[in-house]
Structure 1
Amino acid sequence: MALHNKSFFSNLNLQTGGFPSWDSISDEEWRNVLSNYVFKISDSFAFNSVFKKADLFPEGLNYFADWELHITGLAEAEGDIVCKFRLNDNCRSKLLEYEFAVHHFESEKFLNYYEFDSLYFFSDDRLITIYINHESEIMFLNLNDNEDALIDTLEPHIKSSFIDSSVFREAIIASRKT
C-alpha cells in the first residue's frame, strides 16, 4: 500500500512570476473539505500548543465552554505534544464554523486571541491532517490508498484544489531558480 501526501490550496497558481500563490480558504471550501473528507477519515483532533484542556481557557476566555471536549489522550504533532479530543458531533459542528480560529472579546491583555496556529486531525494515533490557519493551507500526511481515493468523490472544484505535495515542492524549487 502506497502512502500519499497532499495539500489543499484554494485557487493555487503554480505559474506565477515568483512563488506559487493561492487564496484564503473560503467558508464553503472549509465546510466542504471537513464534512466530505476530513470528518470521514478522522476520529480525533488537537490544537497546536494545547497540552491539557485548561490551555483552552487563558485569561478568562470561555469560548470553548460549550464544546463537548472529551480527551482521548496525548499525541505528537510536528514536534509538539498535544491533547487529542474526540471528534464528536458537537466538535464537528463547532469546527464547521470557520471563524472559530479567531475570538473577539473584551480583555486588557488581548485584542484578538488566536487560539492556535495549527489544527491537527488524527486517525487513531496517526496524524493525517494539519490545518495551518495563517497560511490557508491544509496538509494531508501519509494517506492510505482508500483515504487518497476518497478525494476523487469530492466536488470537482474542491477536488481540483488538492495537489500532490511533491508537485508543490517542485514548483517552489523551480520558482527559486528563475
Structure 2
Amino acid sequence: MTLYNKSFYSNLNLQTGSFPSWDSISDEEWRKVLSNYVFKIADSFAFSSVFKKADLYPDGLNYFADWVLDITDLAEADGDIVCKFQLNDNCRSKLLEYEFAVHHFESKKFLNYYEFDCLYFFSGERLIAIYINHESEIMFLDLNDDEAALIETLEPHIKGSFVDSSVFRAAVRASRES
C-alpha cells in the first residue's frame, strides 16, 4: 500500500521570489477541510502540550468549559505526549469555529491566549494530520489510498490547495539554491 503525505496551504504559490508563499486559512476553507475531509477520516484529536484535560484550564481560563471532552488515550504526536479526545459532535462543532485558536479575555494576566501551537488529528492510533495555527498549514501524514482519494471529491479550490509534501520541500530547496 502506498502512503501519501500532503499539506494544505491556502493560495499556495511555489514560484515566488525567495520562498513559496501562501495565505492564511479562511474560515470557509477551515470549515470545508474539516467537514468534508478531516471529520471523515479522523476519530480523535489532541492539542499540543495538553497531557491532561486540566491543562486546558490554566490560571482559571475556562474557554473549554462547554466542550464535551471525552478522553480516549494518551498518544505521541510530533515528539509530544498528548491527551487524545474523542472527535464527537460537540467537539466537531467547536472546532468548526475557526477562531477557537485565539481568544480575547478580560484578564490582567492574559491579553491573547493560545491554547496550543498545534492541533493533532488521529485515525485510531495513527497521527494523520497536524494543524499548525501560526503557520496556516495542515500537514496530512501517511494517508492510505482511500484517504488520499477522498481529496479528489473536494471542491476544486479546496482540492487545489492540497500539495504533495515532497513537492513543497523541493520548491523550498530550489528557492534556497537560487
- Please classify the TM superposition score into its range, dividing by the shorter chain length: over 0.9
Q: Output the amino acid matched with 2:86.
A: R
Query: What is the TM-score with the length of structure 1 in the denominator?
Result: 0.99
Distance in 1 (CA, whole Å) between partners of 2:46 and 2:79 is 13
Aligned length: 178
State the SS of the aligned residue for 1:49: coil
Does 1:19 pair with 2:19? yes
1:75 Cα deviation from its structure 2 partner: 0.2
The alpha-carbon deviation at position 103 of structure 1 amounts to 1.1
State the 1:108 CA deviation: 2.0
Residue type matched to 2:154 in 1?
A: L
Identical aligned pairs, as a percentage? Answer: 83
Q: Deviations over 1:39-92 (max 9, x none)?
A: 000000000000000000001111000000000000000100000000000000
Matched, 1:123 2:129: no
Q: Deviations over 1:67-126 (max 9, x none)?
A: 000000000001000000000000000000000001111122211100000000000010
Structure 2 partner of 1:28 = 28
Correspondence for 2:99? 99
Partner residue, 2:40? 40
Q: Give, in whole Å, the separation in 2 of the partners of 1:33 and 1:104.
A: 25
Aligned to 1:52: 52
Q: Deviations over 1:4-28 (max 9, x none)?
A: 0000000000110100000000000
- Determine the C-alpha separation between the residues in 2 that align with 1:59 and 1:103: 15
Gapped runs of 5+ residues in structure 1? none
Q: 1:157 and 1:79 mapped to 2: Cα distance?
A: 33
Q: Which runs of 4+ in 1 moved over 6 A?
A: none
Question: CA shift at 1:32, angstroms?
Answer: 0.2
Stretch moving more, 49-58 or 103-112: 103-112
Q: Which residue of 1 aligns with 2:113?
A: 113
Counterpart of 1:154? 154
Secondary structure of 2:17 counterpart: coil
Q: Distance in 2 between matches of 1:173 and 1:38?
A: 29
Q: How many Å separate the matches in 1 of 2:126 and 2:158?
A: 24
Aligned to 1:64: 64
Matches within 5 A, 1:3-18: 3-18=3-18
C-alpha separation between the residues in 2 aligned to 1:109 and 1:118? 23
SS at match of 1:149: helix
The residue number in structure 2 matching 1:136 is 136
